[in-house]
Structures are given as C-alpha cells and as structure tokens.
Amino acid sequence: MRGKKHPWISISRQVLFALLLCISAAKTSPAADIHAVASVDKTTISLEDVLELKATLMGVQSAARPEMPRMPAFHVRPGGTASSTQIINGKVASSVSYHYHLIPKEKGSYTIPPIVFNVAGTRYLTKPIQIEVVDKIKVTNQSNADAFVEASVSKTDPYVGEQIVYTFKLFRKVDAQNLELETPYDQLYFRKESLGNSKKYEQVVNGVQYKVHELPIAYFPTQAGKTSIPPAILELDLLRSSAQGKFPGRSSFDSFFNDPFFRSQLRSEHKILRTSPIQLNVRPLPKKGKPANFSGLVGDFKMRVSLGKTTLNTGETTTLTVILSGTGNVGEATVGAPELPEHFKIYPDQPVLKADIRNSRLGGEKSFKFALVPLKPGRWDIPVPTFTFFDPARKLYMDLKAEPTSLTVMGVEAKEPLSQFDASAENRTNTGSRTSGDELFPIHTDLRDFSNQKFSGIDWALILAGFTFPLAGYFYRARRYQKTLHRQSHSAFYRSKEALALALSRIQQLKDQPSAKPKEIVRDLSQILREYAGNKFDLDSAAFTSEELSNLSLSDEEQLQIARSLGAMLKNFERLQFSPTAEINGPALINTALETLQEFEKVS
C-alpha cells in the first residue's frame, strides 16, 4: 500500500494544476486579447421578423452589460446572458455574451452602430453592422398565409370628440401562443378606451377557413386635421406540428410514447404581424348653432332628473339627482349646482360614472347628486340643468331639458346652527380613571402571610422539570438544526428522493377533482411534471423550457432518457393547453402520467 497513491491526491493535483494554469494564463494574457464582437442571425429581415443581435466580449469571464447605441429604427428588447471558459492546448479562452431582440419599425436600410463594452476604464467597440428591412411578405392570396392581421375603423372623417370604433382582427390557420398586441397612438390627437374582450369566431377567406380573433377599441379624436392611427403590432409564436417517429428513450417507454398524442412535435416560429396605418381627416365641430357654454359632449344622450322628497320640514334634507346616459364621451359631462335662493344650503356629491358597452360603442351613465337643506318654509321651484351635445348623425347641436320640480317646505324658519362647545363632554372625555392600590396589590393583614414557606415534593419536581425541559428542548432543537443543515447541504439528493412521492400525491389530488375542466387538467399535469423534473434533476421548475429539459446534459444514460421523455411530454402538454381545437381526455391523461412516472422510477 505504500506505493499506491490515494485517488483524491491525484484529483487534487489535477485541480490545482488547472487552477494554476488559469491564473498563469490570465496573468500573461495581454490586454490586446480582449476585443468586442457583434453578430446577427441575418442581415436581411422583413417587418414580420425579429432580428437576433449578440454582443460578445472576448478574453474576459465577466463584464457589465454593454452600452447600447440609439437605434430609432428598432424596438430593442434585452435577452439573456451567456459566458464561456475553455482550456484548449493549455490556453484559456473566455467570453461573455449579451443577447438582444430587435423589432423593426419600418422598412429601409439601417446601420447598427458600434456597441461599447467598458472594462476597467478601457472601451472596447464592436464593428457596425448593415441591416436591410424589407416590407412584410406579400402573398397573392391570403389563404397562402398561416396568419395575418387586419384593422379597420367605423369612420374615416369623424368630428372632434366623436367616437370611432377601431377593429383589429387576427386570422390564423395554425395554433398560436404568447400573443402580445401593441396598438400605438398619438396621445396629442386621440384618447383611447377599451371596448371589452376580444371575440372569437370562424370565417372563410378565399375558400379557406380561418379562426378569427376580433378586438374592438374606441378612439376619440381631440384635434381637427389630418392624422393617422399607426400600425398595430402583434407579436406571437405560431405552432406547427410535424409528425415524428418514436421519441428517443428506452424501450420500456415505447408503449407510452407511440401514442398518437406524443408522436407529433411542435415547431414554434416567432412572428411579428403589422396592420397598415389608417388615415383620418378629423373635422372640427360646426360653429353654426354652437352655444357659448358648450362643454364638448359628442354622441347621443338622454337625461333624467329626480327629487328625493318633495315635502319636508325646514332643516331636513332632500337629494336632487341628475343622470346623463347614452353613447359617446359621457365621462366629460359636468353639472354645476342648481341656482337656488340663499336660504338653501347646497352640498354637492362626487359624480359617479358607470361606463358600459352599448351596440359595440362606449357609453354609460354619469350621475350628479346635490343635497338640499331648506332653511325657510314655502313652496320653491328647483331648477334643473340644461345639457347641450353635438349629434354627429344629425350634424346638429341638441339640447336636453327637464321640467322644473317643486319642493314644499313646512315649519318655521330655521337659522343656521352654530357649533356648540360642550364643556361637560370635554371633561368627560378627558377624565382619567383612577385605580387604587387595593386593585393592584392585595392587602396582607395576617402575620402568617409573611411566614417562611417550605418546599414540598411537588415543588421540587416542578423545579427539576424547570431545569430539565429547557435542556431537553435545547438538544432537540440542536438535532433538528443538524438535520436541516444536512438537508440544505444535500438538497439535490433529498429533492430527487422525494420527487416521485410529491408528484404522486399531487396527481392523486387531481384525480379526486372530477369536476376539473380538461384544460385545467392539462395545466395542472404540466405543472406537476415540471416540478417532478425540477426535483429529479435539481432544477428550478420555473426556469427551464421543455426544449432545455430535452437537451439536458447528464452523464447517466438512464437519467438522460428520462429527461428527454419528460421534455417531450411537457412540449405536448403545452400544445394541448394552448390549442383551442385539441380534444382532451382528462382522466386518461391523468392515468397515463401516473403510470409513466412510476415507470421512470423503476428504471432510474
């Protein structure tokens, strides 16, 4: 045994040699070895594509995020970060890369300026890159496109303040996910309001059936003149399925993965779809017939007026309510307090707006309330306000009027009460409660109360317990703390060991919910499998995709096949979850997932 070296000594020497090599290489690498490189996935893109830009600093293991130049022709979104260190022929090659997604705004030729890395006061610049952005792909027949978008408005020559309905439509033949819609507009020329959720239906276009998502939006022009609504931008992933053979894995899984559900893989294509801009000619409101006190209401409205109590005594309160309802910019309506004699006290309430959708147009009602307190008896006419609005359909200014209502006040004339200061109340509230010493401490009058007390057997037992229990508690907590430290230092082992039990428990809970909807079952099963994979391979269950799980690097062949199989399962669950037409057999999926996890544990 004397001539045999312990294996740990050999490994330690190898690690030490590698560290010394890295340090030596780092010291001898001249600053000239550090340089910046920028690259793109393609130099010609369409308005429907996303440009992938990567900025890399060679010769370092880490660096701060670079200074990005202004690129007004693109929407720039930061992506992920990657670093790499390799030892090739005794030389250390390190780099750090930052990824960006560039979304083109319009067609043309553009230059991506140099990107600047700043390392210890030294600036490293990438070379500029030329990019050509062409128009979106034109098809002779819309039926050739897997997805396209359209936008239209209810009117191209509205009046200032008139509501126009902007309708956005997505037509698609394939499944889609991760939809993100942007509807930009100029806030100097428009006010935008939502008209509710989107509608879904099917429509035949040039003999091809499409699934249509329709989203209405209300725009209110605020200035007269020629203007436009910019293109709407929809970013989404189109999902296409392609038939595959058996998934890579062990033969023990073949009976499961040869099911038609798992023979189709999804191919995702990221697209950006744009509508065409819409030109508008906003007309000013007519001057003819326009009242001097016109408040800017445009639409079609009605008015209701009511008085709470028409007969009351002096000093009592009644409420005057004015309600304006209809379609248009009802939210901009204002009402002043009624003009009443000075022997009325008037207390206006906050206006209340209840917006709703009426015949695909924004409307609602706005109520105004005034509390009236008469101080003098008599019969009084309560004036009601007059509204004037412009009706775009009739091209006329319209007046809304209501008949005055009367109020009968009985009793004697009341004077406005003065605030009274109640000294007795002040004294009552500030009078402190006095507590005698008898209430705090008992009074001892017997000498026996002060005699020496002897400890009984029970007293000694209690004293002993008082010392023993804390000591036992200390050792118990120390033991638990040691177990906690052991679990923390061996978290991967415990996670893998408990993965199946946790997954089976959650699947059983899912089976006990017979009322669960198919989509909910798919969502929950996907989450259970994701948590199982995270525990099995010591991963963050929220930080990996199905693709990353399928491509996981593992030394154990059995574990590698399980990871690939789980990745395939998650990918198909994603397809089921986001496909609006997929047929889902919830109980069968639960049983299949249960059997598969148990099969995984047998071979692992």
Give the DSSP letter string of 167-205.
Answer: EEEEEESSEEEEEEEE----TTTEEEEE--S-EEEEEEE
316 and 379 co-located in one domain: yes
Among 134, 167, 188, give the residue marking a domain's end: 134
Please name which of 453, 439, 411 lies closest in space to residue 313, comparing C-alpha atoms: 411
In a domain, 456, yes or no: no
Confidence check: pLDDT of 226 > 90: yes
- CA angle 294–296–297, rounded 5-degree value: 105
Per DSSP bridges, beta strands 297-307 and 387-391 are parallel
- Reading the block at residue 349, the tokens are 């309430």
Question: Which residue would you say has higher pLDDT here, 424 or 598?
Answer: 598
pLDDT digits (tens, 9 = 90+) for 193-219: 888 888 899 888 888 889 999 999 999
**pLDDT above 70 covers what percent of the chain?**
75
The verdict on residue 484 lying in a domain is no
Domain CATH number, residue 58:
2.60.40.10
The answer to whether residues 60 and 126 belong to one domain is yes
Q: Are 573 and 526 in contact (CB under 8 A)?
A: yes
Q: pTM for the whole thing?
A: 0.52
Residues 268 and 190 in one domain: yes
500 and 596 assigned to the same domain? yes
Q: What is the pLDDT of residue 168?
A: 94
- Which pLDDT score, from 0 to 100, does residue 257 have? 47
Q: Which is higher by pLDDT, 474 or 398? A: 398
Any residues with CB less than 8 A from the CB of 125 and at least 6 apart, and which? 36, 114, 115, 116, 117
Report the pLDDT value the prediction gives residue 282, as an integer from 0 to 100.
Answer: 94
Q: Where is pLDDT greater, at 383 or 32?
A: 383
Residue 137: pLDDT band (50, 70, 90) is low
Would you say residue 149 lies in a domain?
yes
Q: Does the pLDDT at position 495 exceed 80?
A: no
Same domain, yes or no: 245 and 369: no
What Å distances lie between residue 464 and 205, 223, 471, 475, CA to CA?
90, 88, 11, 17
For 236, other C-beta atoms within 10 Å of its C-beta total 21
Residue 583's alpha-carbon distances to 146, 364, 576, 588, 589, in angstroms, are 22, 41, 8, 12, 12
State yes or no: pLDDT of 582 exceeds 80.
no
Q: How far is CA 396 from CA 156, 288, 388, 448, in A?
A: 19, 9, 10, 104
In a domain, 213, yes or no: yes
Alpha-helical regions (H) of 77-169:
none
Residue 245 pLDDT > 60: no
d(CA 177, CA 190): 30
Q: Is the pLDDT of residue 399 over 70?
A: yes
CATH value at residue 351: 2.60.40
Q: Which of 134, 166, 200 is the last residue of a domain?
A: 134
* 557 in any annotated domain: yes
Residue 38: predicted pLDDT: 92
Statement to judge: residues 278 and 390 lie in one domain: no
Q: Are 174 and 239 in contact (CB under 8 A)?
A: yes
**Confidence band, pLDDT 50/70/90 cuts, at residue 437:** very low
In this prediction, residue 439 has a pLDDT band, given cuts at 50, 70 and 90, of: very low
| Domain that residue 380 falls in | 299-410
Within this chain, do residues 266 and 181 fall inside the same structural domain, yes or no?
yes
At 464, list the tokens: 């002993």
Tell me the helix, strand and coil percentages in the chain, rounded to 5.
30, 35, 35
The C-alpha atoms of residue 207 and residue 201 are separated, in whole angstroms, by 16
- What's the CA gap between 523 and 590, in Å, rounded? 12
- Indicate whether 508 and 573 sit together in one domain: yes
Tell me: the pLDDT tens digits for 325-369?
A: 999 988 888 888 888 888 889 999 999 999 888 877 888 999 999
In a domain, residue 158? The reply is yes
CB 387: neighbour CB atoms within 10 A?
Answer: 20
Q: What's the confidence (pLDDT) of residue 8?
A: 40
| Number of domains comprising the chain | 4
Check residue 361 and give its pLDDT. Answer: 86
Which pLDDT score is estimated for 303? 92
- Residue pair 48/64 in contact (Cβ under 8 Å)? The answer is no
Calpha distance 40→100 (Å, rounded): 10
What percent of the chain clears pLDDT 90, i.e. is strictly above it? 24
Of 366, 359, 256, whose CA–CA distance to 322 is shortest? 366
Query: 21 Cβ partners below 8 Å, 6+ apart?
Result: 87, 90, 92
Crossing angle between the packed helical segments 557-578 and 586-603, to the nearest 10 degrees: 170
Span of 92-101, 293-302, 557-566 with lowest mean pLDDT: 557-566
Q: Is 440 within the bounds of a domain?
A: no
Average pLDDT over residues 415-438: 41
| pLDDT single digits (tens) 263-287 | 445 677 888 898 999 999 999 999 9
Report the distance separating Cα 268 and Cα 418, nearest Å.
Answer: 76
Q: What is the mean pLDDT of residues 454-467?
A: 69
Q: Are residues 340 and 391 in the same domain?
A: yes
Query: Who wins on pLDDT, 67 or 449?
Result: 67
Name the domain boundary from 82, 111, 134: 134
pLDDT, greater one: 514 or 94: 94
Higher-pLDDT residue of 346 and 489 is 346
277 and 204 in a common domain: yes
- Mean pLDDT for the chain? 77
Task: Say whether pLDDT at 248 is over 50.
Answer: no
Mean local confidence (pLDDT), 413-435? 42
Residue 475 lies in a domain: no
Judged on CB neighbours under 10 Å (0-12, 13-18, 19+), 499 is buried
- Residue 563: which pLDDT band, with cuts at 50, 70 and 90? confident
Q: What is the largest distance, in Å, between two alpha-carbon atoms of the chain? A: 122
pLDDT band for position 29 (cuts 50, 70, 90): very low
497 and 599, same domain (yes or no): yes
Mean pLDDT of 407-424: 58
Let me know whether 360 and 268 are in one domain.
Answer: no
Indicate the range of 327-336, 342-351, 495-504, 581-590 predicted with least confidence. Answer: 581-590
Task: Quote the pLDDT of residue 18.
Answer: 47
pLDDT of residue 358: 80
Q: For residues 106-132, b (16+ Cβ closer than 10 Å) or e, as one string?
A: eeeebebbbbebebeeeebbbeebebe
What secondary structure does DSSP assign to 96-114, as a single string? EEEEEEEEE-S-EEEEEPP
Residue 194 and residue 306: Cα distance in Å, rounded?
A: 31
**How far is Cα 244 from Cα 264, in angstroms, rounded to an integer?**
6
Q: Taking residues 85-114, report their average pLDDT.
A: 84
